[in-house]
Chains A and B, each alone.
Chain A
Amino acid sequence: MDPLILSRMQFGANISFHILFPTITIALGWVLLFFKLRYNATNDSAWMRAYFTWVKVFALSFAMGVVSGVTMSFQFGTNWPGYMETVGNIAGPLLAYEILTAFFLEAAFLGIMLFGFRRVSNRVHTLATVLVAGGTTLSAFWIIALNSWMQTPAGFEMIDGKAHPVDWWAIVFNPSMPYRLVHMLLASGLTVSFLIAGLSALRYLSGDRSESMWKALRTGVFTAAILIPIQIFAGDQHGLNTLEHQPQKIAAMEANWNTGPNVPLVLFAWPDEAAKENRFEVAIPDGASVVLRHSTNGIVPGLNDYPGLHPPVLPLFWGFRIMVGTGILMLVVSWSATFFLKRRHSLPRPLAMLMVPMALSGWLATLAGWYTTEIGRQPWLVTGVLKTADAVGPVAGSHVALTLAIYLILYVLLLIAYLGVLVHLALKAAKDGDTSPLPGVMKTAMSQPAAGE
């Protein structure tokens, strides 16, 4: 097979596996801080029990994120040497700042956050939690800046075929960066909310009615209910930004073959790229013109304006619809659950049973969204600067295929183990309930080194 498509598949597999875990740790760090601050304020040990249940999920997710992230740092060189050779002067400093300001911060204080509870004072432990949560968010900031720059490059000039920085402010805060960052941070918040709500619902279904279960369940459901409308608004703004800067991506997402007014909003179709038409189309007349231009005769860009330079239509069309569909389901479920928790102080069994698989809805929406935006960048690696085909390395296709196969097997096995541990942790917490021994919370640190040594 073609090394280009194999390398793309390999990078896609690695980054898809990787993004699952930062999506959890970015927001879960802040949720853990919330649990901790609630405990500090109320002295209610149920908050601390919720913290100790979820800090284990955080530790495991963090480890998965670190090891898959190390893989990413090698992939640039092993599979895409042309990338750094062309835009290394821009991408390099952004990656360097991510490592220097974010990776070390989170890695160094993670140990204290996880195992230092009895080693440092409560205040230092809270501070360590803040620094880890801040580190994960800062890491998202830098990598989103780089990714957005690849989508909508700015602040550089080309000298002898290489990008050179001109204005770092323009590079970091490039046109799509603020929208993408907000969209991703909210996605992380929603992923974690539904994960917490889903695993708490599993505890609920297994008969657990402990205080720590209720606290986690309410935190997950209410956070989701607040974040989802904000996310729908932010996603819409992000789409309008894409319309302005990457119209060919919007054309593919909407499967709109010809530029013009009165473009329908296609709800269902099988886009046929060879025939340049949609099969089995179900559409709302003028819908896309209204959504994108706020007028029935608004002009929507079509694929005919970008011959040979537009992304593949089918994955964008469906990726976008899976993301939006999941988002709408999230809205319905989180608002219904909020209604029952607020008004009836209970959770109907069918709703709880729906919330358990919804624990992974954030992953689905995040992956679908990233596929839409990243495949939507094709055939460019860096829009208008470097084509993906020109960046691939000289490695033999057979080597790429072999390593890809082993990566995939490894990732499937690790995902099974990861989800198994999550369910195991939830059921264990359900069995212990509020009877687990009260964690040894102390306001002051143990003597150094810790007593008993």
Chain B
Amino acid sequence: MTFDWPTALPLIFAGLMGLAILIYVILDGFDLGIGILFSVAEDAEQDTMIAAIGPFWDANETWLVLAVGLLLVAFPMAHGVILTALYIPVFVLLVGLILRGVAFDFRAKVPSGKKHRWNRIFFLGSIIASLAQGYMLGVYVLGLDVGLGGIAFGALVALCLSAAYAAMGAAWVIYKTEGELQRKAVRWLRTTLVLTALGMAAVSLATPFASPRIFAKWFVWPEMLYLSPLPILSALLFLWLWRQTFHLPKPDDRHALRPFLTLAAIFALGFAGLAWSFYPFVVPDKLTIWQAASATESLAIILAGTVVVLPVIIFYSFYAYRVFGGKATDLTYD
């Protein structure tokens, strides 16, 4: 049997790009979520919340660079089409990410009188970046439609994705803190979970109805049967997590990581659904991954490096999380 590289490589890179996006959404999701939750936290709590993400956010954001980088290097045609169509939302996202990223550092280094201002900028940057990502997801799902309906739907998804990030942030706070802040985070999680579920349902329903091609992929026998675990499992996880919020935190703080892992699983399921809907297109209904892909020899040399480097990256990322494991304490440079 001969292995057909020109067919396989774009597929592999689509998978890698999907993986990078999913990891980004989960990891930077909790960073952005904590930024959003800044608006409802006390001053002292804000310091603890920053300490819970301080050592990680930079590496988390790098997954976005990898995802965009893979889109850029593996599917250069799609990169141009998608990013010129989303010119303004991408710009808004970048402004949000810039404000969020620098506020992290400025708030800890400016004279104490100015700290408040940077806390507000940290919140603003996080919420702007989250809204922009949600809006882009909404517009992309509708096939990069920027008509009035597309904008309205984009706005809905923007709100729901921000709520989902806030839920991730709350779940991370439950894992990394204790006492009053942890109990507060449980309540935050419960509230934001409702909006998260609403958003996932909206995207799940809108996707097939916006495109007859996607409708045909889902609502046909026997695929419907094989695909049914995706929505059913997601719904069950939502219900289970909702119930859990009435019993957290557990004695001895058992299972503190569970809400976060559950949310990550829900994100992964939703992402798998989207991937199934859009495959094999990278620009909905316009460019397939093979039409948009780079030359085989270029993809091959990137893959060779990726195979060697990605496991190393994952290994030392785990190491970094382990070094800063346990409950968050004050961040100091010494």
Contact = CB atoms under 8 A, between A and B. Distances in A.
Contacts, number: 230
A173 to B, nearest CB: 15
Nearest to A100: B309
A108 interface: yes
Contacts of A450: 326, 329
Contacts of A78: 83-84, 87, 90-91
B91 A403 contact: yes
A96 B69 CA distance: 6
Interface string A105-132: 1011111101111111000000000000
A128 to B, nearest CB: 9
Contacts of B104: 63
A399 B87 contact: yes
A62 B58 contact: yes
Contacts of B74: 92
Interface string A47-64: 000001001100110111
A168 B302 CA distance: 12
B122 to A, nearest CB: 12
A417 B83 CA distance: 30
Contacts of A74: 68, 83, 90, 94
Contact residues on A (Cβ < 8 Å of other chain), bracket? 35 or more
A63 B58 contact: yes
A108 B320 contact: yes
Interface stretch (B35-43, B162-170, B244-252, B293-301): B293-301
B269 interface: no
Contacts of B59: 104, 107-108, 110-111
B324 interface: yes
Interface string A71-102: 10110111001101100111111011101110
Contacts of A393: 80, 84
Interface in A385-419: 393-395, 399, 403, 406, 410, 414, 417
A448 interface: yes
Contact of B295 (A89, A111, A414, A425): A89
A410 B95 CA distance: 8
Given A67-B101, A410-B98, A453 B332 contact: no
B88 A399 contact: yes
Interface in A308-327: none
Contacts of B323: 111-112, 116, 119-120, 448
A185 interface: no
B58 A66 contact: yes
B303 to A, nearest CB: 10
B213 interface: no
A99 B316 CA distance: 15
A116 B302 contact: no
Interface stretch (B105-113, B190-198, B224-232, B234-242): B105-113
B32 to A, nearest CB: 14
Contacts of A107: 58-59, 61-62
Interface of B: 54-56, 58-59, 61-62, 64-66, 68-74, 76-77, 79-84, 87-88, 90-91, 94-95, 97-102, 104-106, 109-111, 294-295, 297-298, 301-302, 305-306, 309-310, 313, 316-317, 319-320, 322-327, 329, 331-334
Interface of A: 52, 55-56, 59-60, 62-64, 66-71, 73-74, 76-78, 81-82, 84-85, 88-93, 95-97, 99-101, 103-105, 107-112, 114-120, 162, 164-165, 168, 393-395, 399, 403, 406, 410, 414, 417, 420-421, 424-425, 439-441, 448-450, 452-453
Given A85-B77, A410-B95, 14 more contacts: A52-B334, A59-B333, A73-B68, A78-B90, A81-B81, A81-B83, A84-B73, A97-B305, A100-B66, A104-B317, A115-B55, A417-B102, A448-B323, A450-B329
